[in-house]
Chain A
Amino acid sequence: MSVPAPNLHLSTGPHIRRGRTTAEIMWLVNLSLAPALVWAFLVYGWPVLAITLSAIAGCALAEHLACKVRGIDSTVFDGSVVCTGLLLAYTLPPGMPLWMPFIGGALGVFFAKTVFGGLGYNIFNVALIARALMMATFPVEMTTAWLTPELGALGGVDALSGATPLVNLTGDREGTGAVISGTPEGMAHGLAFLVGLRPGSIGEVSVLMVALGAAFLFWQRIIKLWIPLGVFAGAALFAPWSPDPLLYMMSGGLWLGAFFMATDYVTSPSTPKGQLIFGLGIGLLTGMIRNWGGYPEGICYAILLMNTLTPALDEWFRPPRTAPEGTPS
């Protein structure tokens, strides 16, 4: 034998793979979240970046330590935990103390992700568990640390203590039609919500930027539209009871939740029918909580509740078999 055999690898087929890895998907999702962050930075200034970094650092630290404890390679750079940190920060008011997102992110990742076994094994959306935890722990800061937007005022913008604009839109409150504080004078509220010139959470302030990122995800075929469609349809059923149905549907939280949180692969169903029902459930629960409940941002709890249904939805709605059943004649 004159041809030396090299060291050969053995495995079952297929021996080639399509180029996109889980890490690449996660970093593409992070990229799609960038426009919202850039916009928030432009209107609220440096605190936005500080809070975002703090949330990511908290999440990453918990993930890294968990990997150390389990004796596996650190998964911090697979993009997933950065995504969690980003999403958490996007739900927070820009005026909150810096240490809070760090604590929230770390505890969220610990309780919702690492104890279940890490990426792929969690039941609940990690960022939303972190947010729910912060809502319980820091109720005042979570609902009042708003900043008045000012385009290009990178240095300092005015702190604005008060309720989130959505509070003005819940059914049983007054203030209907009143000026929502913090929006530019003379600007229609709808437009202010659309471009993001209003007090709000970091990543939710501009519906336009969220939609831009969502369009990117759809174009990259990372998300499908069944879940967001369901969310909007479900939420729309409650819109007639809202003092301002347009603003109700234009809340950035609904958009961020529908496109970025509810579509999380791990915690959402895999088939179109399951996804549509999952989305509808989220939309309905969101409308319910907003309409009758005490929390303006119902979507966080709506998604967490529907997360529990994911395994059942996957079992009830299976992919259709191509080949017909039955013994051939």
Chain B
Amino acid sequence: MRLFARRHGEATFARGGVHPDERKELSAACAIEPFVPRSVTVPVSQSLGAPSVPVVKKGDRVRRGDLIASDESGGVPVHAPVSGIVKSVDSGIHPVLVLDLSITIEARADEDEPTFPEQPGWETLPRDALLERIRRAGVVGLGGATFPTYRKLMLPADARVDTLIINGSECEPYLTCDYRLMLEQAEEVVLGAWLIAKIIGVPRCLIGIEDNKSDAGAAMTAAIARLALDRRDHPLAMQVVVTQTKYPQGSEKQLIQALTGRLVPQRGLPMHVGTVVQNVATAFACLEAIRNDKPVIERVVTVSGGGISQPKNLRVPIGTMITPIVEACGGFTDEVVKVLAGGPMMGRALADFNAPVTKGTSGLLFLTRAETNLDRYQPCIGCGECLDVCPLGLEPSKVSQYVEVGRPLETEEFGVFDCFECGCCSYSCPSNRPLVQFMQVAKAAYRHAAAKKKVSA
């Protein structure tokens, strides 16, 4: 008999982290619903890196899935999320970049609407063909980082990678889009992961899921058993690892440590410790890209927060504007003071509702005064809380004090360049200091100084 039932996941990263209110109950029970707006506005920057180049012009007729911006610039291909008429190719709002060249398409269903059926022989495609389909489909990291997936999977010849990690942590409060995907389409996620493992040639795959989503973990485990991955042409040992619910469990380097115990070096990449990490939604997109030859033209978005009448998990075309989403979710319930693209820890605050969903938009949160933080900040009292919660062992308090007195170029030793802006420090600061912003200011000062040096040299 076990005296102490292991109710909680054991695996976690070693240092720091915080436990914000999860608030996932608002939308956790909402099954994924499709929603198609009357028009979409698609920014050409859909990945980390260069913007893509429009290949359509005003008045063109496009079908769902047609290429509308090419990756010749070094970005990723962008496809028409809906069939219809190109209304404009013009400057528009981008949730992260503020402004971006955007293609507006008025939806008009085609007589012969593309359905993206399963392609015969997809399971036995060679590695290069798999990779090419992922590139062609414009798959990017859908957890929010939007790094082009084919580039992440194109490992250098000398890389020794043995483990694929699938990230189902969804450690940001409020967000439930990955949770619903794992619950409702577990087999697709597992098959997508299997394809990725095949591409990078690893025998082992670990799926990290926090213990507040144990039903999703069970669904994934059942899907793994049904699909008999160990008896396929690329045999794969896949396993769900239940981790502690702790932010930022879903951060790449923290998840690697939680699942494998390996530590990615400062400024190193997951492949330096033999791992590749992909989000569950990205695995799903890889499957659709390969099995159905379907580009990334839609994604699941969690619409939540105390300010929205009916929180939902919507599968929307890329480029869907916030306004129709608000209408589809019953409008506001209370005074909304902040609208976020992404989660409340790392998401971006939006200036107005004329912003579209991009490939990196995991959530749209409508926060009321009571939910968010608009308090003023005070001087650092040296409590050391930020030092305790930083998962990397950096010194946010010191960075903030140096920036405050106008010495941002002396902050490297406190770790500014390693900071990935998870926000544990600001979240915990009793003086409400915007420590992430101070980090950003310091980084910008270094960038500015480097640019100046280049000019004068």
Contacts and interface: CB of A to CB of B under 8 A. Distances in A.
Contacts of A11: 349, 434, 437
Given A16-B373, A322-B263, A271 B379 contact: no
The size class of the interface chain A forms with chain B is 35 or more
Contact of A16 (B14, B253, B371, B440): B371
Contacts of A265: 381-384
A326 interface: yes
B384 A271 contact: yes
B268 interface: yes
Interface stretch (B46-54, B238-246, B335-343): B335-343
A17 B429 contact: yes
A319 interface: yes
B254 to A, nearest CB: 9
Nearest to B352: A5
A324 interface: yes
Contacts of A20: 430
Contacts of A24: 430
Contacts of B337: 6-9
A324 B266 contact: yes
Interface in B318-369: 323, 326-327, 331-332, 335-340, 342, 344-353, 367
Contacts of B372: 9, 15-16
A155 interface: no
Contacts of B16: 322
Interface in B15-73: 15-16, 18, 20-21
> Among B14, B350, B373, B398, which residue has the most Cβ atoms of chain A within 10 A?
B373
Interface string A99-134: 000000000000000000111110000000000000
B175 to A, nearest CB: 13
Contacts of A121: 379
A18 B344 CA distance: 12
Interface in A11-42: 11-18, 20-22, 24-25
A21 B352 CA distance: 30
User: Does more than half of chain A's interface fall in helix, strand or loop, or is it mixed?
Assistant: loop
A34 B18 CA distance: 31
A18 B427 contact: yes
A328 B268 contact: yes
Contacts of B428: 17-18
B167 to A, nearest CB: 18
A16 B174 CA distance: 12
Nearest to B379: A120
Contacts of B265: 323-328
A43 B16 CA distance: 45
B378 A120 contact: yes
Interface string A31-67: 0000000000000000000000000000000000000
B420 to A, nearest CB: 11
The size class of the interface chain B forms with chain A is 35 or more
Given A6-B336, A271-B387, A15 B382 contact: no
B393 A320 contact: yes
Contacts of B326: 3
Contact of B423 (A14, A120, A320, A321): A14
A13 B268 CA distance: 25
A18 B393 contact: no
A8 B350 contact: yes
Contacts of B397: 270
B269 interface: yes
B421 interface: yes
A14 B436 contact: yes
Contacts of A325: 265-266
Nearest to B429: A17
A1 B338 contact: no
A13 B380 CA distance: 18
Contact of B387 (A5, A22, A268, A270): A270
A119 B379 contact: yes
Given A9-B337, A12-B434, A16-B20, A319 B268 contact: no
B219 interface: no
A1 B437 CA distance: 33
Contacts of A267: 382
Interface of B: 13-16, 18, 20-21, 173, 253, 257, 263-269, 272, 323, 326-327, 331-332, 335-340, 342, 344-353, 367, 371-375, 378-384, 387, 390-395, 397-398, 415, 418, 421, 423, 426-432, 434, 436-437, 440
28 contacts: A3-B323, A8-B338, A10-B351, A13-B342, A13-B421, A15-B349, A17-B373, A17-B426, A17-B427, A17-B432, A18-B20, A18-B427, A22-B381, A120-B380, A120-B381, A265-B381, A265-B382, A270-B383, A270-B384, A320-B393, A321-B394, A321-B415, A323-B253, A323-B264, A323-B265, A323-B268, A327-B267, A328-B268
Q: What 9 pairs across the A-B complex have the smallest Cβ distances?
A: A120-B379, A270-B384, A14-B423, A328-B272, A328-B268, A17-B373, A321-B393, A22-B430, A14-B345
Given A5-B352, A326-B265, A327-B265, 17 more contacts: A9-B349, A11-B349, A11-B434, A13-B421, A13-B436, A14-B373, A20-B430, A21-B431, A21-B432, A22-B378, A25-B383, A120-B380, A270-B382, A270-B387, A323-B268, A323-B418, A328-B269
